[in-house]
Structure 1
């Protein structure tokens, strides 16, 4: 059932409280626009009138103003919905924003869902750089990671997710490692070319990367790639990093379909 909500002036941004419970002028138009966004299949005038709490002619005038601006339209059944111009502006604005800003709502959703920290990171040589982070709700224990911080790629879920797309062979892993040995962050860190190659191969096969306390003892992670600029080349990776005692790695694996679904348009096409 579609949830509906009345829009008294006291709850509408920018409304003068002196107007009481009556929407006026631009506030009414904005209330209608916001309600249209809740009905992707369209909504009838009678339903809009009931939800907005204004007379039908008043709501109809607000719709007429939105239609003149291209921000609202009508389908073949006479139901009102967001207009093409609104969608054009929204998508143009969305695409122009830096990807870490676009990913931020996804991270907040994941952090709230799991009560753990969500990260967005990109690959920079042998390291990953965290471009965005969302902490769990207030009261939960939080990780000490910071935006702009770095970690070795081979020890992190986000790093292994991205390396799996770049290093398809054992020779490629060896060339990437070069002469400098990989740092063992914990006793579980995979530091040899053979170990890392096997882990990257497993990552490609299952479609997500795991960090089983390899970067930090007591912290596990599941990471998936995001595709903000290309359908085939990942632009970064998103992870849920969890305290192992609170959210076991198996719980993240069980929820991998949900994590992928949360990516929306940034997820890899399957």
Structure 2
């Protein structure tokens, strides 16, 4: 789960119609904000202009608005980056999320028990978004996944654990895929409707989801849904993500009941 995409840029076309001036202006400000998030070391006005595809003066006005709100700043080199107020709000909001508060101790316990990374993720369309993460004790090789990062749902254990509840038939899987093909992250990634349907059916039957180096070669995981807000609909999924050479998939499968028990009141059979 190392290759994550924290802030995908919008690909929506921008128009300059007079009727939509206010909306377009807001869209551009948000596009600049999202692009800043992709450059933790800062980015020049010229690079921002190229990335956004708007005139330099327009981007500069958007930056000025963000700076007035404390959502953007400028370093000593003149490069733009996210402002301290944005970071304060983001971290405060993240720490206050009810599921984050409840799940974090579980992730830490799992990371300590297996010496591997534990994640909590939610489904967002065709992707999963990582809401919390616990790394193994100091000294162990760690994954580079990040809170806020994204991965394709069909290629991940957490994604399949959640999709198994939503896509119960082959027709449902086909409709979910639609016209956009599924990305093949590794040779093992299920990329057809039939392959994904088989994976989701197996997930329901055994009660947990697996990622057998399907999202990234050398990394596997076991995932279980968690029920933080409803006894029947999962609010997200928890996974233990491991380096395959260090913790083979069979080791995680043999410990599935231990992992399930660690979820405490958030666990529920995946049936």
Normalising by the residue count of structure 1, what TM-score does the alignment of the two structures yield? 0.64
Higher deviation after alignment, 242-251 or 96-105: 96-105
Residues 1-270 of structure 1 correspond to what in structure 2 (within 5 A)? 98-268=98-268
Aligned mates of 2:199, 2:97 — CA distance in 1: 34
Asked whether the 8 Å contact 1:122–1:235 carries over to 2, the reply is: yes
Q: Which runs of 4+ in 1 moved over 2 A?
A: none
Are the equivalent residues in 2 in contact too, given 1:231–1:269 (CA < 8 A)?
Answer: no
Does the aligned pair in 2 maintain the 1:156–1:215 contact within 8 Å? yes
Aligned-partner Cα distance in 1 for 2:197–2:97: 35
Unaligned runs of 5+ in 2: 1-95
TM superposition shift of 1:269: 5.2
Whole-angstrom CA distance in 1 between matches of 2:97 and 2:236 = 15
Q: CA deviation at 1:97?
A: 5.4
Tell me the TM-score normalised to structure 2 length.
Answer: 0.64
Give the secondary structure class of the aligned counterpart of 1:173: helix
Cα offset for 1:180? 0.2
Q: Which has the larger radius of gyration?
A: 1
CA RMSD, aligned part only? Answer: 1.1
Q: CA deviation at 1:228?
A: 0.3
1:119 aligns to what SS in structure 2?
strand
Q: Residue 101 of structure 1: CA displacement? A: 1.9
SS across alignment from 1:188: coil
CA contact (8 A) 2:207 2:269 kept: no
